[in-house]
Amino acid sequence: MSTAHLYEGYRPGIPSPHPTVSYELYPPRATSRASSVWTGIDRLIDSAPDFVSVTFGAGGSSADSRDRSIQVLMEVLDKRRGLPAVAHLTCLGSSRGEMSMIIRLLLRAGIRDFLALRGDPPAGGVQRQNDVPTMQRAVELVRLIREIEAEELGGKGKEDRVSIAVAAYPASTGKARANDIAALLEKERAGADYAISQVFYDPREYDSMVRELALAGGRIPIIPGILPLNDLKRLRALERLAGVPVPQRLVDIHANPDAESRVRESLRATVELVAGVLEAGAPGIHLYTFNRPRPVLDVLAYLRGGGYLTRSGTQGGTPRHPLPPDVDVDLVGLALHRLTPGL
């Protein structure tokens, strides 16, 4: 069953009673660190997410990075039966034939979920070989996946339907926001099932994008991409990569010389961000893990303990999942106070 079924019945702006939790995973980048990376991936998967996605990484993709990504995807399918694994695909600079081959390979290996991205230019810029045209836009990739799905799986049942996720950019404004909404509409018409957002820091940005998309006639869910806000170096790196400035309030949190206060306040900021998007009707959250389980699992402990997220629902706001002994009950109280009971 593809990930698209998780969001059946989605209505823009209406909070979900059972929001999904999913993770973005990275393949090991170096053989010397593979063991520790796999340990982190295993811990994350053991926490029972609704699905995981596996990235090719930023700054363009190579055959080697694709091979390592495919290895992670195959490990998930082999060892975690029933856990959907979403394959990231980036198309910028690749020919239609090259992408067709990769899509067919993944379909024949059992992958039924894709995140279709434009991607970043390869190092040195986009190169053309033998005057073969290269793909330029994510919507081209969405159309290609649907074409190949029909060829490869046309006679199979509903359980083999492919799901396609695409990117959304809540931090955009002005003309860039209008272009992003138009692109989402085009990708939805081409066959996209849902979107996963890039990093943002204000839930109002997510809420406004959902509303604008709905007003323009869009119906696909946007799953907010959430980065645990505990690492300022990582936030700065994403600022350089994605162009989303780190808010001064987060800079101030990380300027505190007291390590315990930094951990507490960055966790509070993450919880408040998740609270805001869930109140705005987000049907789930997609956590950018960087294969580091501790920050992610700490965030989930607070969210589940406070009633934000459950595996089986809550009654009257009473958590069904016991809190770890070191969880700050005041922060959990923030969750219970702010959120609608049962969400």
The DSSP line for 254-268 is HH-S-HHHHHHHHHH
Q: What is the pLDDT of residues 229-242, one digit of tens each?
A: 999 999 999 999 88
58: pLDDT strictly greater than 90: no
Cβ pair 308, 15 in contact under 8 A: no
Tallying the residues shown for the chain, one arrives at 343
Lookup: tokens for 132: 């073969």
Distance CA 141, CA 89 (A): 8
pLDDT level of residue 210 (50, 70, 90 thresholds):
very high
Predicted confidence (pLDDT) per residue in 287-343, tens digit: 999 999 999 999 999 888 878 776 543 223 333 333 344 445 455 444 433 433 332
Q: Are 274 and 228 in contact (CB under 8 A)?
A: no
pLDDT tens digits, 143-170: 999 999 999 998 677 777 999 999 999 9
What is d(CA 69, CA 119) in angstroms, rounded to the nearest whole number?
15
Question: If pLDDT is split at 50, 70 and 90, which confidence band does 62 have?
Answer: low
Tens digit of pLDDT for each residue in 238-285?
999 889 999 999 999 999 999 999 999 999 999 999 989 999 999 999
- Three-state SS string over 52-98 comes to EEECCCCCCCCHHHHHHHHHHHHHHHHHCCCCCEEEEEECCCCEHHH
How far apart, in whole angstroms, are the C-alpha atoms of residue 36 and residue 69? Answer: 16
Reported as a pLDDT band with limits 50, 70 and 90, residue 44 is very high
Q: Can you list the positions of beta strands (E) in the chain?
A: 20-25, 51-54, 85-90, 113-117, 163-168, 194-197, 222-223, 225-226, 284-288
Strand pairing partners for 23? 52, 287
Mean pLDDT of 194-218: 97
- In order of their start, the domains of the chain are 3-338 (3.20.20.220)
Contacts of 46 by beta carbon, 8 Å cutoff, 6+ apart: none
| CA gyration radius, the chain | 20
Which residues does 94 contact at the CB level (< 8 Å), separation at least 6? 134, 135
- 3-class SS at 225? strand
CA 207 to chain CA centroid, Å, is 17
For residues 305 and 327, give the distance between their C-alpha atoms in angstroms, rounded to a whole number.
Answer: 9
Given this model, what pLDDT does residue 126 score? 53
CB neighbours of residue 54 within 10 Å: 25
Q: Does 180 score more than 90 pLDDT?
A: yes
pLDDT 10s digits, 98-149:
999 999 999 999 999 999 999 877 655 555 556 678 899 999 999 999 999 9
pLDDT of residue 154: 83
- Angstrom distance (rounded) from CA 12 to CA 274: 17
Could you tell me the pTM of the whole model? 0.87
Burial of 78 (0-12, 13-18, 19+ CB in 10 A): exposed
CB contact at 8 A, 102 and 92: no
Q: Which residues pair with 206 in a beta bridge?
A: none
